[in-house]
Amino acid sequence: MHDTVTKVLVANRGEIAVRIIRACREMNVRTVAVYSECDRTALHVRYADEAYAIGANAPRESYLRIDTLVDVARQSGADAVHPGYGFLAENAGFARACRDAGIAFIGPTPEAIDLMGSKTAARAEAMAAGVPVVPGTEAPLGPDVPDADVARLADEVGYPILIKAVAGGGGKGMRTVTRAADLPGALRAARSEALSSFGDPAIYVERRIVRPRHIEIQLLGDHHGTIVPFVERECSIQRRHQKVVEESPSPAVTPALRRRMAEAAAAVARRVGYRNAGTIEFLLDESGEFFFLEMNTRLQVEHPITELVTGTDLVHWQIRIARGERLDLDPGRMLSPVGHAIECRIYAEDPDRDFLPSPGLVTALRAPAGPGIRRDDGGAVAGVVVPVFYDPLIAKLATWAETRPMAIARMARALDEYDVRGIKTTIPFFRWLLTDPDFQAGRIDTTFIDNALAARNGRPFLEVPEDAEHIAAAAVALQALAQKTPAPAGSARPESRWQRTARTEALR
Amino acid sequence: MHLQIEVNGRLRAVDVEQREGLYRVVVDGVERMVDAAAVDGTTFSLICLADGRSSQEVGLSPTGLPGEIAVHMPAGVASARVLAGAASRFGRGGGAAQAAGTQQVLAPMPGKVVKILVKAGDDVKARQGLVVVEAMKMENELRSPKDGRVTGVLVAEGASVEAGRLLVVVE
């Protein structure tokens, strides 16, 4: 195919753009960044070899503009495009436009994106590959299908059900229905959300597995028919169907189950001739049975934990595969994790107010460091405004250690070091989560956060004890005192005024 | 120096003075001798002498709300404000406790009002949804801070709002 990928246009922003640019630099590949108006000074722009303005802040006027992106690729002489995740990563039209322009799309073929992007078609492929799927309707239910027909199909599938957008993802256009009486309202809401989010009101109905775990298998496929599946990721800690904590390996998966899930994932990928990085998502029920859920035809947010426990670099491999290189990873080793890795997604959201977005100016920031810490961020530092236009993910924090308890302890230590001021983040939620006995014991499923929120009934995740309230009052008073005391003339270091005024006072 | 400081909704009487290179801080009658050093303009290292020299890093940051300071400590983040004179206001925070009096529901972030779930005169329960604001690709339901009655809805569906914009009043 493309035996040279020498200059990559990164059609994305934020932490994933930075992560891809870093991989390119390591491989001596030149990089082209694109940016919207508010991203002019973003880290991905400053790290790239070249950078091009592509429009206004709204994604549809910049990061979603296929024509502009292909033009910039041509103009800059890029011979490949990496879409990252989100934005156009699973847009077959973009992959096709790149191919038509003679530019390598670092990802699967447009045909594979089309096929696996349709949830109903993907289910059919999984079944044809002999992989179990969650019971549900086989054909998309368009807007012309009457509610009564949907109700009859829902009865056949069996309550509780999930209504999902055929073109969906990220929890949009998804509704849980436990009683037939609630179906009409949920159907209307799901269709309208599907239409506004994806431009397609078609939905389908699926049985809701009770207390399932979300387990997924990362895989790579090359242009020569080799598929390599990796050790699973456990992604059951979800909020609004968005993952917030992931770990690898799963505390619920035995080596035998891992082999079966990996074989099932590889069978689906092989059947559709899959190339490059992709992930097959499964639901694992309490009895240990698993069901195909969907395929993500892109690099995942949570890919770093797989890299940490297998010692691979998935983005390097994406580029090598796009160059036509053969996968020569040892498949046995990719299914034998070394140690344990956990990732927390640090969002600009207020966990104590129903996880409302909290964009704004970061007034101070110290990120954790030290052994076993991997942090991917898009340049959130003091003085930077987290924009309101994009996903509120400001950083991914991953820790690795020899065992799961130590990876958890290391994550707790890292979160204690993480100091973000000016905006609210999900850090207090994670600090609470890591102390939860069920989480520590690995007793988790996809209902975990909703149950925890209901049980806490609005109590803050980090409750400040009385003693700390005293310390807070003391600190505020000390600052007020320092502000009343003028710094000595010619002072070059106003920050040490406290100590100095104390000394000056003592000399009187 | 004497101050009235509200921390997480509770009023604290604080006296602070310098003494022999250290600070004597009395909070609600509890005295602490503190070795205080500024790390930078807003971050302070406090070592409390009476307490086995327990070391704490404390960061202060304005929240954007008038007079309110977020105090970042190892134990968590507290919300504080220095009260001028004796005038005390009911504070924010306080966990699950319900807010009292007339409550203004403000837009916590810039976004678009996609749905209004109540109208003036409606009785609402605490945590009942009032308005749905879309921001950062998500639809966010803003909820009532208390049991009460909606006395005003000050936005229309489809309106773009800035952070801090008054949306709904609950009495």
**Model confidence at B73, in pLDDT bands (50, 70, 90)?**
very high
Would the pLDDT of A243 be above 80?
Answer: yes
Judge contact between A172 and A194, C-beta under 8 A: yes
Would the pLDDT of B90 be above 80?
Answer: no
Q: Rounded to an integer, what distance in angstroms lies between the CA atom of residue A236 and that of residue A448?
A: 8
Would the pLDDT of A326 be above 90?
Answer: yes
* A465: closest chain B residue by CA: B75
The structure tokens 């890093």 sit at B57
Judge contact between A316 and A23, C-beta under 8 A: yes
Write the CB contacts of A432 (distance below 8 Å, at least 6 apart in sequence). A461, A462
Q: Rounded to an integer, what distance in angstroms lies between the CA atom of residue A267 and that of residue A200?
A: 29
Residues of A known to be catalytic: 298
| Chain B from 9 to 68: CB within 8 A of any A CB | 10, 12, 14, 16, 18, 20-23, 25, 27-28, 30, 32, 34, 36-44, 46, 48, 56-62, 64
Complex ipTM tops 0.85: no
* B71: closest chain A residue by CA: A472
List pLDDT tens digits, range A91-110: 999 999 999 999 999 999 99
List pLDDT tens digits, range A56-76: 999 999 999 999 999 999 999
Would the pLDDT of A353 be above 50?
Answer: yes
Going from the C-alpha of A55 to that of each of A38, A39, A43, A272, A360, the distances in angstroms are 10, 10, 18, 36, 21
Instruction: State pTM to two decimals.
Output: 0.81
**Model confidence at A498, in pLDDT bands (50, 70, 90)?**
low
Task: Give the neighbor-by-neighbor strand order of the sheet with B129-135.
Answer: B138-143, B129-135, B111-116, B160-161
List pLDDT tens digits, range B46-71: 999 976 889 999 999 988 778 899 99
Tell me the residue length of chain A: 508
Q: Rounded to an integer, what distance in angstroms lies between the CA atom of residue B7 and that of residue B93?
A: 9
Count Cβ neighbours within 10 Å for each residue of A448-460 and write b for 16 or more, e otherwise. bbeebbeeeeeeb
Give the number of beta-carbon pairs within 8 Å between A and B.
Answer: 186
Beta-sheet pairing, A233-239 with A213-221: antiparallel
Instruction: Quote the pLDDT of residue A339.
Output: 98
Which has the closest alpha carbon to B25: A479, A464, A507, A484? A479
SS3 A446: coil
pLDDT (average), residues A210-238: 97
Q: Rounded to an integer, what distance in angstroms lies between the CA atom of residue A389 and that of residue B55?
A: 40
Would the pLDDT of A489 be above 60?
Answer: no
Instruction: Quote the pLDDT of residue B93.
Output: 35
Q: Rounded to an integer, what distance in angstroms lies between the CA atom of residue A303 and that of residue B53?
A: 43
Which has the closest alpha carbon to A335: A267, A388, A257, A282? A257
pLDDT (average), residues A351-375: 92
Q: Average per-residue pLDDT in chain A?
A: 92
Going from the C-alpha of A143 to that of each of A165, A195, B88, the distances in angstroms are 12, 10, 57
Write the CB contacts of A194 (distance below 8 Å, at least 6 apart in sequence). A165, A166, A167, A168, A172, A173, A200, A201, A202, A203
What's at A433, amino acid-wise? L
Q: Does A475 touch chain B (CB under 8 A)?
A: yes
List pLDDT tens digits, range A113-171: 999 999 889 999 999 999 999 888 878 899 899 999 999 999 988 899 999 988 876 67
Q: Rounded to an integer, what distance in angstroms lies between the CA atom of residue A9 and that of residue A68?
A: 12
Would the pLDDT of A492 be above 70?
Answer: no
* A457: closest chain B residue by CA: B96
Going from the C-alpha of A166 to that of each of A121, A191, A274, the distances in angstroms are 9, 10, 21
Q: Rounded to an integer, what distance in angstroms lies between the CA atom of residue A468 and that of residue A473?
A: 9
The structure tokens 């924010």 sit at B92
Whether residues A496 and B38 touch (CB distance < 8 A) is answered with yes
Would the pLDDT of B92 be above 50?
Answer: no
Name which of A8-17, A158-167, A343-352, A438-447 the model is least confident about: A158-167
Kind and range of the H or E run holding A303: helix A303-310
Number of other residues whose CB lies within 10 A of the CB of residue A73: 25
Question: Which residue in B39, B58, B135 is closest to A388 by CB distance?
Answer: B135
Whether residues B38 and A482 touch (CB distance < 8 A) is answered with yes
Whether residues B73 and A471 touch (CB distance < 8 A) is answered with yes
Question: Which residue in A459, A480, A502 is closest to B82 by CB distance?
Answer: A480
Q: Rounded to an integer, what distance in angstroms lies between the CA atom of residue A1 and that of residue A408?
A: 43
Whether residues A502 and B71 touch (CB distance < 8 A) is answered with no
Whether residues B1 and A496 touch (CB distance < 8 A) is answered with no
**Model confidence at A294, in pLDDT bands (50, 70, 90)?**
very high
pLDDT (average), residues A243-268: 98
Which has the closest alpha carbon to A48: A65, A29, A64, A62? A29
Going from the C-alpha of A46 to that of each of A13, A18, A208, A262, the distances in angstroms are 12, 10, 45, 39
Instruction: Quote the pLDDT of residue A404.
Output: 98
